[in-house]
Amino acid sequence: MRKISGSTVRRLSLYLRFLEQFDALGKTTISSAELARRGATTSAQVRKDLSFFGSFGKRGLGYSVPELTARLRDILGLKRTYRVVLVGAGRIGGALVQYPGFRQRGFHVAAIYDRDPRKVGSRWNGLVVRDVRHIVGDLKKEPTDIAIVVTPADAAQDVTDQLVQGGVKAILNFAPIRLAVPADVVVKSVNMALELETLSFALANR
């Protein structure tokens, strides 16, 4: 398969959301123009995005909503559920644990870790916070693909090393540092200040 850009993957996720909304409204077919309008992009872009993954739809008839939905779920790796562990029982961690969108998409936060003895043992959204030193042992017993790192910057690399040692293959990183990982591990970083800088850039360059 060709290399797919992050922005293409992001649009595929959005198309899937729109398709689910169309399905809920009882629509069975959808044109690239309709998908484009919802996604604030062009029909050509929609067709190009979908063409990466083979041939969809019929000229003049549009795409079958259930077929394209199933195909996008497949492409995005959403035909299964994922066990997710979260490290860092702070405010953002607390917000993420309760985030309804994760479970709806099949991402189940199954364990939470922290290094603060005052937090270890406390209950969080039905889970008991465990000590970070159990990470590797726990992961060996319960294989886990995805971890969310929400620790302070100074703890994030050490935690990441343990997650990788435990077999985690994908990390969503909220700590404000670049994590070093082996080539077979994927890291996606989220930085709220960076998001605001996208806006300040837009305001400064109008």
The residue ranges that bind a copy of itself (CB under 8 A) are: 1, 4, 6-7, 9-10, 12-14, 17, 38, 40, 74-78, 82, 84, 90-92, 94-96, 98-99, 101-102, 104-105, 107, 145-146, 169-172, 176, 178, 184, 186, 188, 190-206
| Cα–Cα distance, 105 to 125 (Å, whole number) | 18
Q: Which is nearer to a copy of itself, 53 or 134 (CB)?
A: 53
Q: Rounded to the nearest 5°, which phi and psi values hold at 168? A: -65, 135
Q: Which is nearer to a copy of itself, 33 or 186 (CB)?
A: 186
Cβ count within 10 A of residue 206? 5
How far apart are CB 5 and a copy of itself at their closest, in Å? 8
Token pair of 188 as six digits = 């996606």
Q: Is 32 exposed, middle or buried (0-12, 13-18, 19+ CB in 10 A)?
A: buried
How far apart are CB 51 and a copy of itself at their closest, in Å? 16
Q: Cα 22 from chain centroid? A: 22
How far apart are CB 133 and a copy of itself at their closest, in Å? 25
Q: Which is nearer to a copy of itself, 41 or 64 (CB)?
A: 41
How far apart are CB 4 and a copy of itself at their closest, in Å? 7
Q: Which is nearer to a copy of itself, 60 or 198 (CB)?
A: 198
Q: Which is nearer to a copy of itself, 111 or 171 (CB)?
A: 171
How far apart are CB 181 and a copy of itself at their closest, in Å? 11
Strands 29-30 and 63-64: antiparallel
How is 150-202 classified by DSSP, letter by letter?
Answer: -S-HHHHHHHHHHHHHTT--EEEE-SSSPPP--TT-EEEE--HHHHHHHHHHH
